[in-house]
Amino acid sequence: MRLVQVMVPAGKRETVLSVLDEEEIDYVLSDETSGREYTAIVSFPLPTEAVEPVLEELRDAGLERDAYTVVMDAETVVSKRFEELEERYAENDEDGNGDRIAREELDARATEMSPRFGAFVTMTVISAVVATAGLLLDSAAVVVGSMVIAPLIGPAMAASVGTVLDDEDLFARGVKLQVLGGVLAVTSAAAFAALLRYGRVVPFGVEEVFSIAEVRERLAPDVLSLPIALGSGVAGALSLASGVSSALVGVMIAAALVPPTAVVGIGIAWGRPGTVAGAALLVVVNFAAINFAAIATLWYKGYRPESFWRLDETRTTTIRRIGVLGVAILLSTAVLTGVTVASYQSAQFETAAQEEANALLDSDARVLDVEVTYGGFPFRQPTAVTVTVGYPPETTTPRIGDALATRLADDADPPFGIGEPAAVDVSVRYVPVEESRTGAATA
């Protein structure tokens, strides 16, 4: 519920009070004695869903836009008439959007959530650095901590609100901060990762750094990444429109953006930008999906510009922006679908490599580990296989390298069956293994 205070200009007192009386709204009238053009201040409580229609009635009755209007949260209103007012507006809510805040509140909240430049830059840099450290430490807890401090929900919501309310200044600020945030996050992550690498703070080589679990899982994103970003945009818009805290939703949005940008920075620092092309694509598709979902949700909730004459123009602008974002998402989804298929084929190849190696070994030897190196994006293909074979030290070392290479050549199918199978380098590492009395193997 809200407490609304309206400053009544000279000559409008009776008109304003008559509107409130017709709506059966309790109010308190105070005289304005400052000597300005205002003669009174009217304070009245309203259900959240009643703020926008009542303010529109007051403006239709002649209350100018320049008249000061303050809308505040109200914890409790004890009044029989207020309860009846709540029931009446709940019954009139045919579209099911009664839980949304007023247009003016939405604009104010989006503006407030759009951080100041200095604070935005500082928090973005800190978030990117912490995320980079967490990825290199393979610490999910540290990565989550970087999401908490990332100031990324505000710019996304500002751009979306600016679109549906035809506030070009707010839209431009949201877009600029999102672009700046993405570039700044990648740059900060790259600079910090380069400092760690060339300062020899971390002992990782190129192959080791991309084998870290937290880094590796973001190198080849699949199509399931898209629902996460879309859900983040919808949740952000709903939390904003309902007037509830957006802090937790901000963490969800940061989860879709911060770790991939840090991975891109790591790839740049280690001189392998092509390796992190998947993470870069994930950043782009997440930005597009979050804005797409937020704009569509706010438009569905019924938010429109105040002026009727701007409605058609705003509708055209909104549809155009949703269309551009939708095309970007579709193109990215096609690539992500290819990555998903390629990942499935990769899993099949790894299983086939282990099965083929076991089939070539006798009963005394066994496969201990299979490592596959992939190349290319988005359609990854196996380029090298390393098989670790354990065998009893008193037996002859099994030789399966050539035979395994021949068999795996047929299993390395190109994605979607297009093209020729890639040449796969096969290496076999032999490790003598002794069985202890308890049955555990010792190398």
Question: pLDDT 10s per residue in the chain (443 long)?
Answer: 788 888 888 778 888 888 888 888 888 888 877 767 777 888 888 888 788 888 888 887 777 766 778 888 877 777 777 877 777 777 766 555 556 778 888 888 888 887 788 889 999 999 999 999 999 888 888 988 888 888 888 888 899 998 988 888 999 999 999 999 999 999 999 999 999 888 887 766 667 788 788 888 777 777 777 888 888 888 888 888 887 766 667 777 887 888 889 999 988 988 887 777 778 888 888 888 899 999 999 888 888 886 666 778 888 888 888 999 889 888 877 777 776 776 667 777 778 888 888 888 877 788 888 887 766 655 667 778 888 888 887 777 777 877 877 777 766 555 545 555 566 788 888 888 776 555 455 55
Residues 347, 327: Cα–Cα separation, whole Å: 30
What backbone torsions phi and psi does residue 375 show, to the nearest 5 degrees? -135, 160
Residues 183, 191: Cα–Cα separation, whole Å: 12
**Structure-block tokens of residue 105:** 């509140």
Residue with tokens 């990942």: 343
pLDDT at position 99: 66
Residue with tokens 């401090």: 149
pLDDT at position 389: 83
Residues 180, 130: Cα–Cα separation, whole Å: 18
Residues 63, 57: Cα–Cα separation, whole Å: 9
Dihedral in degrees, nearest 10, Cα atoms 183, 184, 189, 191: 100
pLDDT at position 219: 77
**Structure-block tokens of residue 371:** 């490592």
Q: The whole model's pTM is what?
A: 0.71
